[in-house]
């Protein structure tokens, strides 16, 4: 899984908020990027997201319906793994992270690590 560009992230936000798989037109109508986008631009972004493994698609008549392959939280966790993998020194990165997070987030981590065993 690769990182998302700005438009890809905006499209994924629409997909994560959708209750059911959505067509390109529905994504386009819900996108709030502050600029006017063409249908073909959103189609290209969704095709790229499909190729990258971020979305699945299924035919519905003559058009595809798209849905995320993982939850927003699962995607964020995978990206964190990638950051650690490319950091050069995951221990240093984790140490910096642990000292910089809020007390509430630190408690969430402590709880998760205790439950892990």
- Assign residue 30 the CATH number of its domain: 1.10.10.10
Do 64 and 78 belong to one domain?
no
Asked if residue 1 belongs to a domain, the reply is no
Do 42 and 15 belong to one domain?
yes
Residue 9 has pLDDT above 70, yes or no: yes
- The pLDDT score that the predictor gives to residue 1 is 46
Which of 68, 91, 108 finishes a domain?
68
Mean pLDDT for 67-92 is 91
First and final C-alpha spacing in the chain: 28
Do 61 and 10 belong to one domain?
yes
Do 87 and 112 belong to one domain?
yes
Do 38 and 79 belong to one domain?
no
The number of domains in the chain is 2
Residue 2 has pLDDT above 70, yes or no: no
Residue 40 has pLDDT above 90, yes or no: yes
Judged by phi (left if over 0) then psi (alpha if -120 to 50, else beta), residue 34 lies in left
Do 79 and 25 belong to one domain?
no
- The pLDDT score that the predictor gives to residue 105 is 94
């Amino acid at each position: 899984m690769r990182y998302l560009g700005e438009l890809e992230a905006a499209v994924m936000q629409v997909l994560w908020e959708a209750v059911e798989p959505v067509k390109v037109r529905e994504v386009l109508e819900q996108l709030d990027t502050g600029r006017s986008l063409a249908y073909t631009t959103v189609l290209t972004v969704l095709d790229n997201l499909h190729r990258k493994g971020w979305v699945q698609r299924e035919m519905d008549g003559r058009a595809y319906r798209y849905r995320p392959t993982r939850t927003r939280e699962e995607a964020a966790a995978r990206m964190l793994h990638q950051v650690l993998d490319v950091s050069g020194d995951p221990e240093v990165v984790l140490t910096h992270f642990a000292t910089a997070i809020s007390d509430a987030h630190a408690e969430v981590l402590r709880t998760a690590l205790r439950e892990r065993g």
